[in-house]
Amino acid sequence: MTKPDITIAREAKLLPIEQIGAKIGIPASALYNYGPHKAKVTLDFIKTLPAKSKGKLILVTAVSPTPAGEGKTTTTIGLGDALNRIGKNTIICLREPSLGPCFGMKGGATGGGKAQVAPMDEINLHFTGDFHAITSANNLLSALLDNHIYWGNTLGIDVSKITWRRAMDMNDRALRQMVVGLGNNGMTREDGFDITVASEIMAIFCLATSLEDLEQRLNRIIVGRDTKKENVTCLSLQAASAMTALLRDAFQPNLVQTLEQSPTLIHGGPFANIAHGCNSLMATQTGLRLADYVVTEAGFGADLGAEKFLNIKCRQGDLTPDAVVVVATVRALKMHGGVAKKDLGDENVAAVKKGAANLQRHIENMQKFGLPVSVAINHFTTDSVDEVQAIQDVCAALGVRGFLCRHWADGGAGAEDLARHVVEMVESGTARFQPLYPDALSLVDKIKCVAREIYRASSVDFLPAALKKLENYQAEGFGALPVCMAKTQYSFSADPTLMGAPEGFVLPVRDVRLSAGAGFVVVLCGEIVTMPGLPREPAAHKICVDKDGLIQGLF
């Protein structure tokens, strides 16, 4: 009988976190411990590292997600373990889990089987408090904004033009739209909450390169407009210094380990269907200065997280990735081929071949960035030999290799073939990375470029108000910013029911938001929302503390 993931994690032998740090040259004096198996790496130590990166950067992404699961985090961990097994000094860089998905539909985000980071229950719930700090910083700005208006509004803020929203790290649809200031507590106005992982503070946190850069980015946040139609910034409200103080400790990357004791930096956690979907630049750059290989992931399918990793994070962080691994499963491709979830256990090679159009498009998209690509076929026990071969045939037709990976069951040993091939791709020197579009392209044309080249849309339909905002941003000098597309993760289109590889559709853009501090423009497509709701049967119903005081039900 297969053991539950949490049982496997609790039976694993974890090393004291000081020993994990020592593996990658971090002395115990450079760690702030949160118990025996978690620590923050001090900024003072990071400042002593060589300015130039020595490591090779591997991006793990995936096909468009389905209820069948793809296992992108599990594969990232398995690949990192495998690279360490074959003698490559490797650090894994991941995002921190959000409480919203943990208690909602997705569950925990620490991998699975023998490819996990640990302690999984602590990482999934609260961890080292980073998300609480980010939420507090966000809401401090909200409080200072409303307080300024209450005490006379000397900045002349137009309360009907306030764009700054409050944040909370939980799915709560009732907070999407609300009214604040009732009961003579201030000027009544409309407001709302975003989930913390979709907030601009989270994006700034993950793209800043130092505390100084963090504060400068916070100062650039635009909270709304004044009665003269000019932007009002966080700097005007004198909020950034206090916000930086709230974020100071959180800004230090978190060090943990896999079940095979591979060093892992987990830091930051923006959603990929709304925000840019990558772990912090601080953690990635630290890893690249400490290790020979860094394996990181970008959220959801390659049309979302990977596109943003390559067009936003790499652009802002001056990163040059060396290879991409696209994760696929037989089960997911069968769903993209039209098979119902209840029938996924039955062999259906024809459905795999049909659904593989989704994989093919993601591979082609990654190749457009000038990067070598391989495919990790995350193994399930119901996979047949012919179904796996069908995926490998699709890969071969595109000039890439597909590897059956058994890291869930066997840990790093189950992904060694993939690891060796990744090393071959990196050492071949074939990577010629370049972003999809230049800075000089207009915001409208950047949106059209992503829609055309990544999604395969025939055109983009901008609502007039969204188009007007884009024109204003362009005129105000923000035209060089990249765009951060916010749309459903389940389809290349904005319609979650269009699975597989749809093309020739119209992409509807209903709104745009300027994230001046983060350094991008968020583009809201279709019905995407920035505060998710819980499902009919939330995962919270199954999470509990047992008689021994252990948390159960996170998977």
Considering the domain architecture, whether residues 300 and 189 belong to the same structural domain is answered as: no
CATH of the domain at 314: 3.40.50.300
Distance CA 330, CA 68 (A): 9
Angle (CA) 432 435 439, round 5°: 135
Number of domains in the chain: 3
Distance CA 252, CA 47 (A): 12
Considering the domain architecture, whether residues 135 and 69 belong to the same structural domain is answered as: no
Exposure string (b/e) for 145-156, b if CB count within 10 Å is 16 or more? bbebbeeeeebe
Burial of 377 (0-12, 13-18, 19+ CB in 10 A): buried
Considering the domain architecture, whether residues 80 and 178 belong to the same structural domain is answered as: no
Show which residues are catalytic. Answer: 72, 74, 95, 106, 272, 300, 380, 408
Considering the domain architecture, whether residues 239 and 258 belong to the same structural domain is answered as: no
Block means of pLDDT (10 residues each) for the chain, 555 residues, are: 63 91 98 97 97 92 92 97 98 95 83 95 94 98 96 96 96 94 85 96 98 98 97 98 98 98 97 94 97 97 98 97 98 96 95 97 98 97 96 97 97 98 96 97 98 98 97 97 97 96 97 97 95 90 90 83
Considering the domain architecture, whether residues 364 and 464 belong to the same structural domain is answered as: no
pLDDT digits (tens, 9 = 90+) for 502-517: 999 999 999 999 999 9
Considering the domain architecture, whether residues 414 and 454 belong to the same structural domain is answered as: no
Point out the domain boundary residue: 247, 262, 295: 247
Distance CA 49, CA 69 (A): 38
The whole-number pLDDT of residue 457 equals: 98
Percent of the chain with pLDDT over 90: 90
Considering the domain architecture, whether residues 286 and 386 belong to the same structural domain is answered as: yes
Residue 435 lies in a domain: no
Beta strands 293-297 and 90-94, pairing class: parallel
Point out the domain boundary residue: 227, 247, 267: 247
On the CB side of 233, how many CA atoms lie within 13 Å of its CA? 13
Considering the domain architecture, whether residues 104 and 181 belong to the same structural domain is answered as: no
Distance CA 96, CA 115 (A): 16
Burial of 83 (0-12, 13-18, 19+ CB in 10 A): buried
pLDDT digits (tens, 9 = 90+) for 94-120: 999 999 888 987 678 899 999 999 999
Considering the domain architecture, whether residues 80 and 202 belong to the same structural domain is answered as: no
Residue 213 lies in a domain: yes
CATH of the domain at 472: 3.10.410.10
Considering the domain architecture, whether residues 358 and 324 belong to the same structural domain is answered as: yes
Q: What is the mean pLDDT of the chain?
A: 95
Residue 535 lies in a domain: no
Considering the domain architecture, whether residues 355 and 476 belong to the same structural domain is answered as: no
Task: Check residue 458 and report its DSSP letter.
Answer: S
Residue 232 lies in a domain: yes
The whole-number pLDDT of residue 301 equals: 96
Point out the domain boundary residue: 182, 212, 247: 247
Residue listed under structure tokens 């504060």:
215
Residue 344: give the domain boundaries. 5-127+252-428
pTM (2 d.p.) = 0.95
Considering the domain architecture, whether residues 319 and 208 belong to the same structural domain is answered as: no
Residue 81 lies in a domain: yes
Residue 538 lies in a domain: no
Distance CA 68, CA 50 (A): 43
Task: Check residue 330 and report its DSSP letter.
Answer: H
- Closest to 297 in 3D by CA, of 53, 67, 70: 70
